Amino acid sequence: MSWLEALILGIVQGLTEFLPVSSSGHLIIGSALFGLDGDENLTFAVVVHAATVLSTIVVLWHEVSVLFKGFFGFKWNEEMQMVCKILLSMIPVGIVGVFFKDYVEELFGSGLMLVGCMLLVTATLLAFSYYAKPRVKENISFKDAFIIGIAQACAVLPGLSRSGSTIATGLLLGNKKEQVAKFSFLMVIIPILGEAFLDLLKGDFSAEASGISSVVLIVGFLAAFISGTIACKWMINLVKKGKLIYFAYYCVVAGLLAIVYSMITG
C-alpha cells in the first residue's frame, strides 16, 4: 500500500464512519479498486478505525467527560442512566462480535455483491426514517437503547451502515434527532476498541506481516482522524436538519454500482 492509497482510504474511512453510507463497505470497495486484501487490508482497517474513535472522543469530549464524571459519582442521575443505556446498547454487538462475527463473515462473505445489497438496505432504512413521522419522545428509553443496539449488531454486515442503521432506528422509534446522533456516536466507541482488541488477541493484526510501512499507517491514521472529526460535526448538524434522505439516494447509486461491478468482474 502506498501513502497515496492510505491517504485516500483514510479519508474515506473517516467520512463514511459517521456519514450513513457504511465505512466497512466503502473500505472494501476502495480495497478492491486498489487491489488490496488479506493482512494488509485488516491491519490498515484496525488503524483507521482507532483514528475515528479518537475523532469521536474529540468532537464529543464535553459529553464524554460529563458521562464519565456522572458514572463515577455513583448516583442514579441522568448521566448514570445514559451510561447504562450505552452499555445496554452494546450487549447485542458484543455478543455478535465475540461469538458470531467470524461465522457471519464466512457465511455471507464480504464481496462487493453483499456490500451493494446492504447499501440498498441502508438506503431503505434512511428513507423510512425520513418519511416516517412518529411522536417525538423526550429521552431515549432503555428499551429504545437496546433496540438501537440490535441495529448496530446487524451492521456487522459490510455495506449496512452502522451510523445509518442506529440513527434511522432511533428516529423511527420517535427519539429526538440530535439525541439519536450523539447516542449513535457515543455507543460505538467501546465496540470499535473491543473489536481491535480481539483482532490483537487472535494475532490477526501485524504491521510487519502486512508489509505496510509505519509512514503509510501514520498517513492513514491522520487522514481518518481529520476527516472523521469533520464528518462527525457535520453529521450531527445534518441529522438535526433532517437531511438523511440525500444519503439514501447516494447509497442506492453506490449499491447498484457495486453490484454491477461485482457481476462484471466476478
pLDDT in tens, 157-207: 878 888 889 999 999 999 988 889 889 988 888 777 776 666 666 555 555
Q: Give every CB contact of residue 242 below 8 A, 6+ residues apart in sequence.
A: 130, 177
pLDDT for the residue 42: 64
pLDDT for the residue 166: 93
| Cα–Cα–Cα angle for 252, 47, 123, rounded to 5 degrees | 10
Structural domain of 144? 3-265
Q: Quick one: DSSP state of residue 152?
A: H
Q: How many domains does the chain have?
A: 1
- Alpha-carbon separation of residue 183 from 13, 46, 90, 121, 151 (angstroms): 20, 23, 12, 22, 13
pLDDT for the residue 224: 92
pLDDT for the residue 45: 75
Residues 217 and 207 sit within 8 Å (Cβ to Cβ):
yes
pLDDT for the residue 13: 81
pLDDT for the residue 124: 93
Task: Output the pTM of the full model.
Answer: 0.80
Expressed in percent and rounded to 5, the helix, strand and coil fractions of the chain are 80, 0, 20
- Alpha-carbon separation of residue 43 from 1, 2, 32, 165, 210 (angstroms): 11, 14, 16, 26, 7
Q: How far apart are CA 211 and CA 221, in angstroms?
A: 16
pLDDT for the residue 39: 47
Residues of the chain scoring pLDDT < 50: 38-39
